[in-house]
Amino acid sequence: MDGSIALADIEAAIKPDDIHFARTRLLSLENTIGGKVLPQHYLASAQALAFNRGLKIHLDGARVANAAIAQNIAISDITAHFDSVSICLSKGLCAPVGSLLLGDERLINKAIRWRKMLGGGMRQAGILAAAGTLALTEQVQRLSEDHDNAAYLARQLVELSEFDIDLTAVQTNMLFVKLAAHVDADLLAKHCRSEGILISPGRTIRLVTHKDVSRQDIDKVLRVVKQHFTA
């Protein structure tokens, strides 16, 4: 599974032109989704579907830079399939806060009006804009390091019988680890916490790499986890 929604399911969800239904107006996709990259051919097909059915198409691109780096393409190659795009500057790109909304002039003017109405305007925001500029100009290519670290972590953890990981699903900076039935998630979390590592206990644990997680940090996590299961 690549995280995509079957186009037939999207087609089936479009409401008929009937006064008893709300109008279907927008198709919204997320890329990456759960760390998985939506293929370019899928985006082209989704764009064609939206156009043929009179829908607008929006991209939740919180991690679109990861999707671009994973495919060795430009972000614009992905966003070209959409009428509007939102991009988060703080997920992986290291800005402290901030998002971008991209679209045509009419959409942006409408968004600015709604932002003002809802109290979202900011003054003296130049320092945040500067951080956003650095995020876009200096942090995108660096994402490959996060992808490599996530793949490394997945390969090491999958060697332990206590964990189950679908390595084919580790495409960017995110992996999902399923614990074996005999593993006590709370005890694992407690042991990790005693070593300065915080995890949320559960049968499936989401692990995400980013700029502030080095290969040395990952090796520490691996050492602590292995120590727990061999104690």
Residue 13 sits in the same domain as residue 114? yes
Residue 121 sits in the same domain as residue 175? no
Structure tokens, 105: 């002039």
User: What digits encode the pLDDT tens for the residues 195-210?
Assistant: 999 999 999 999 999 9
Edge to edge, the sheet with strand 99-102 lists: 26-30, 56-61, 84-88, 99-102
pLDDT of 231 > 80? The answer is no
Residue 32 sits in the same domain as residue 52? yes
- Give the domain-ending residue among 88, 110, 138: 138
Report, as an integer, the average pLDDT of 114-135.
89
Kindly report the CATH number assigned to the domain that includes residue 50.
3.40.640.10
48 lies in some domain: yes
20 lies in some domain: yes
Residue 84 sits in the same domain as residue 168? no
Residues contacting residue 61 through CB under 8 Å, at least 6 positions apart: 30, 31, 67, 75, 78, 79, 85, 86, 87, 88
Residue 98 sits in the same domain as residue 182? no
Lowest-confidence range among 66-70, 84-88, 155-159, 227-231?
227-231
Residue 53 sits in the same domain as residue 165? no
Residue 108 sits in the same domain as residue 201? no
pLDDT of 119 > 90? The answer is no
**pLDDT value of position 1:** 60
Residue 196 sits in the same domain as residue 89? no
Q: How many domains does the chain have?
A: 2
Residue 106 sits in the same domain as residue 217? no
- Give the domain-ending residue among 106, 138, 170: 138
218 pLDDT band, cuts 50/70/90, is very high
User: What digits encode the pLDDT tens for the residues 207-217?
Assistant: 999 999 999 99
User: What digits encode the pLDDT tens for the residues 155-169?
Assistant: 999 999 999 999 999
Residue 81 sits in the same domain as residue 114? yes
Residue 168 sits in the same domain as residue 62? no
Residue 18 sits in the same domain as residue 100? yes
The values of phi and psi at residue 85, to 5°, are -145, 140
Kindly report the CATH number assigned to the domain that includes residue 219.
3.90.1150.10
Instruction: Give the Cα separation of 203 and 16 in Å (integer).
Output: 41
pLDDT of 146 > 70? The answer is yes
- Give the domain-ending residue among 107, 138, 169: 138
192 lies in some domain: yes
pLDDT of 136 > 70? The answer is yes
What SS3 state is found at 58? Answer: strand
User: What digits encode the pLDDT tens for the residues 8-58?
Assistant: 999 999 999 899 999 999 999 999 999 999 999 999 999 999 999 999 999
193 lies in some domain: yes
Edge to edge, the sheet with strand 204-208 lists: 163-164, 174-179, 204-208
Q: Which domain holds residue 61?
A: 7-138
Instruction: Give the Cα separation of 146 and 215 in Å (integer).
Output: 9
1 lies in some domain: no
